[in-house]
Amino acid sequence: MNKETRIQKIEEIINRNKDNPFNKIEIPWEDDLVTMNVYKIPLDLLVYNKYNGRILSRTKSLETQSHTIDEYSVEGKKRIERLLWDSKPDRNRKTQKNIADFGQQKIGIITKDGIIIDGNRRAMLLNDIQNEGKLSGKKFEKKYDYFKAVILPVTLNENPLEIEKLETSFQMGEDQKLGYNATEKYLKAKELYSRLTLGKEFSSNNIDENAITKISDWMGEQKSEIKKYLSTMLIMDEYLFYVGYDGIYTQLDNREDQFLSLTKWLDTFYGEGSKKAFDGYTDDDVDDLRDIAFDYLRIRNKYDGKEFRNLADGQKENHFFGNKDIWDSFSNKHNEIRDKISEEPEIDFNSNDLKSHLDDRDNKYFDASKFDGKNSAFIENLKDHQQNIYYNREAEAPEKLVKKASQAFSAIKQNHKAYSKVEVQNLVKDLAMQVTTSMSQKSPLRLLQHIEILVKSIEIDSVPKSELDEVQKTAKEINKLLYPIYK
């Protein structure tokens, strides 16, 4: 059915029922609260809005693949319905049962040519009931072939900004109640800002306050919150470009908290003046922080999201970026790990299920960091330096740390063959050197007493003949060193 036919048929419904509408409701329209009639519109006169807020990230991701959705075609309609269903299956099942039992409760909004401005999800559920539950897999006895809606006096193209305003104010309220995919609100703010500023990209150094005010009113949020949405969306876009997924917004799912944290860190650290970072840091160091954070965002589902905060969250004593030695050690190790990994497979942007393809690619990236076949070097590096932060904070409690170190060493199975490896014994030697050096500085007496115990423990008869000359030479050297102390 073409646009002209839809307009004609909808106009006929209005003329036939304008004196006896199904209901009346007030809606905000052109900066006023206007009472409008509610009509029953046949489902076959409706067209889904492929850019509605619930599935915006999905449709934008598909368009990045050059998969155009023709919302007027049968195939386009089916694709949009699947996206709407998959956006919240559990909630859709609950709402659909309610609709089947009691009918459509919440009134929708359409344009005079049948484009659904508010109510795409409800219309999808009504259509699915009509289609014997092809999406839900459940059939219902009651069927409804109409959609209760207010009809705006314009087409989508005749007043796009006013319709955008209306759609946003209605949908964002509903979406928040539905526990909606968080990515959509960031993307929606970006789209609105671009439209209101005639294509300008948001920049914290050049903000269009009029646009911010309008978006704030339409989305029902404080202006500061809108700016946070836009700043975060910039970092989200940088991340997608970094990993090679530019424009594939589905790959932002389940990462909102981490993106909010990273956006806050970058805003705090850029400019080289923050007291929460290590002394003498530069913006190049902040760039490194951003890139390393992107790597951990990519493997987000492989570790507790709270551990992400160890990178740079809070006061300087609580995170890696607050201590130069820890940050240098952590970042150098991270780069060493990343350099060992080769990206496979290549991205197939023609995949029929690009999200699954990219999720699988990210999983392979994570698995490639398991150099020992068991543990990811990325996660081990994170945990190791998390322990260093703990030690750094506990520097004023030496007794506690020494006790923990002693317990850790006692737990080592010294009979295990791995303990005899050269690299392990070198680490033991380094540890012993740290201990003895500390004792010589703090208590020479305890060091000498320790040496006495060690010498007494040597079984002379068990010294291998091959080492005898070297042992005698070393004993003479020790005697020579001790003589001045004795004297």
Q: Indicate if the pLDDT at residue 180 is higher than 80.
A: no
**Domain range summary for the chain, segments of one domain joined by +:** 3-177, 412-486
Q: Is residue 169 within a helix (H) or strand (E), and if so which, with residue range?
A: helix 160-177
> In this predicted model, which residue has the larger pLDDT, 281 or 176?
281
SS3 track for 62-102: HHHCCCCCCCCCHHHHHHHHHHHHHHCHHHHHHHHHHHHHH
Task: Decide which of 461 and 17 is more confident.
Answer: 17
Question: What are the pLDDT digits (tens) for 397-447?
Answer: 566 666 777 787 788 878 777 777 778 788 877 877 777 777 666 667 777
- pLDDT tens column, 357-408: 999 999 999 999 999 888 999 999 999 999 888 877 665 556 666 677 778 7
Q: What local confidence, expressed as pLDDT, does residue 400 receive?
A: 63
Q: Which helix (H) or strand (E) holds 23?
A: strand 23-28
H-assigned helices in 181-222: 183-196, 209-219
Res. 127 pLDDT band, cuts 50 70 90 = very high
Mean pLDDT of 50-64: 86
Q: Which of 206-210, 311-315, 317-321, 431-435 has the lowest mean pLDDT?
A: 431-435
pLDDT 10s digits, 139-149: 998 888 999 99
Q: What is the mean pLDDT of the chain?
A: 88
Q: Summarize the confidence of residues 334-358 as an average pLDDT.
A: 88
Higher model confidence: residue 268 or residue 473?
268
Q: What is the pLDDT of residue 179?
A: 46
- Residue that has been written with the tokens 């914290």 in this structure: 204
The single-letter code of the amino acid at 389 is I
Q: To the nearest whole percent, how much of the chain has pLDDT over 90?
A: 57
**Cα–Cα distance for residue pair 431/282, rounded to 1 Å:** 34
What DSSP letter does each residue of 100-156 carry, written as one string? HHH---S-EEE-TT-BEEE-HHHHHHHHHHHTTSTTTS---S----EEEEEE-SS-T
pLDDT value of residue 394: 64
User: What pLDDT does residue 7 have?
Assistant: 95
b/e 3-30 (16+ beta carbons within 10 angstroms → b): eeebbeebeebeeeeeeebeeeeebebe
pLDDT score of 11 more than 60: yes
Q: CA–CA separation, 487 vs 480, rounded Å? A: 11
Classify residue 47 by its DSSP letter.
B
| Torsion over CA: 309, 313, 318, 322 (sign) | positive
Does the reported pTM lie above 0.75? Answer: no
Between CA 85 and CA 120 the distance in angstroms is 10
Mean pLDDT value of segment 273-281: 96
What phi-psi label fits residue 251: left (phi over 0), alpha (psi between -120 and 50 degrees) or beta? alpha
End-to-end CA distance of the chain: 110
Q: Order of strands across the sheet with 146-151?
A: 23-28, 33-42, 146-151, 108-110, 116-118
Write down the pLDDT at residue 419.
Answer: 77
pLDDT at 33 over 50: yes
Q: Residue 8: pLDDT above 90?
A: yes
Cβ 382 vs Cβ 307: under 8 Å: yes
Backbone angles phi, psi at 107, to 5 degrees: -70, 140
Q: Which two tokens stand for residue 229?
A: 């949405």
Higher pLDDT, 297 or 32: 297
Q: Find the mean pLDDT for residues 273-302.
A: 96
| Cβ atoms of 156 and 204 closer than 8 Å | no
Q: Which residue has the higher pLDDT, 347 or 431?
A: 347
Binning the chain into helix, strand and coil, the percentages to the nearest 5 are 65, 5, 30
Q: Which stretch of DSSP H or E encloses residue 263?
A: helix 256-269
Read off the pLDDT band of 338 (50, 70, 90): very high
In which band, very low, low, confident or very high, does the pLDDT at 87 lie, cut at 50, 70 and 90?
confident
Can you tell me whether residue 275 is helix, strand or coil?
coil
DSSP letter, residue 373:
S
Q: Which of 69-73, 163-167, 178-182, 291-295 is the least confident region?
A: 178-182
What is the average pLDDT across 187-205? 91
pLDDT category, 67, cuts 50, 70, 90?
confident
Token readout for 169 is 């104010």
Residue 42 preceded by cis peptide, ω within 30: no
Mean pLDDT (whole number) for 446-450: 75
Confidence of residue 275 (pLDDT cuts 50, 70, 90): very high
Give the model confidence (pLDDT) of 459-474 as tens digits: 877 778 787 888 888 8
Query: Count of H helices and E strands in the chain?
Result: 18, 5
